[in-house]
Amino acid sequence: MSDELKPCPFCGGTDLDTRYENSVSCKNLDCGGEINLGHHCGPGAIKVRNACWNARPEPSTDELTEEMRKAGADMLDVADMFESSEDLCAAIYKSMNAAIHYRRARDED
């Protein structure tokens, strides 16, 4: 997975503030594009933050394979449990962080 950030999805700007590992914000003051994963930090935080920032609108239905459609339908119930995409993204981040900690603890045994 590339750690490179895509341009701002709102204005296309490439001048991004990444000084905090839990957020990315567009430096274009007329834009204000930002993601903030709250108090989530630690192992893998930057990768998850970047993945969230790089997430883009879904492809048109024509571009979806049947397999992708089924996977998307299965995930919809889970996604619907969250008020916003940001909440969903933060929950995914928490799960990944927990898995990282769990794997580290397991591998140390």
State the residues that interact with Zn ion by CB under 5 A.
8, 10-11, 13, 26, 28, 31, 33
Q: How far is CA 30 from CA 11, 22, 86, in A?
A: 9, 22, 21
CB of 91 to Zn ion, least distance (A): 25
Between residues 11 and 71, which has the closer beta carbon with respect to Zn ion?
A: 11
Record the tokens describing residue 76, joined without a space: 């919809």
Instruction: State the nearest-atom distance from the C-beta of 5 to Zn ion, in Å.
Output: 12
8 A C-beta contact, residue 36 and residue 23: yes
Residue (10 or 102) nearer to Zn ion, CB: 10
- CA-closest candidate to residue 87, choices 44, 51, 19, 38: 38
In the complex, the smallest distance separating the C-beta of residue 9 from Zn ion, rounded to whole angstroms, is 8
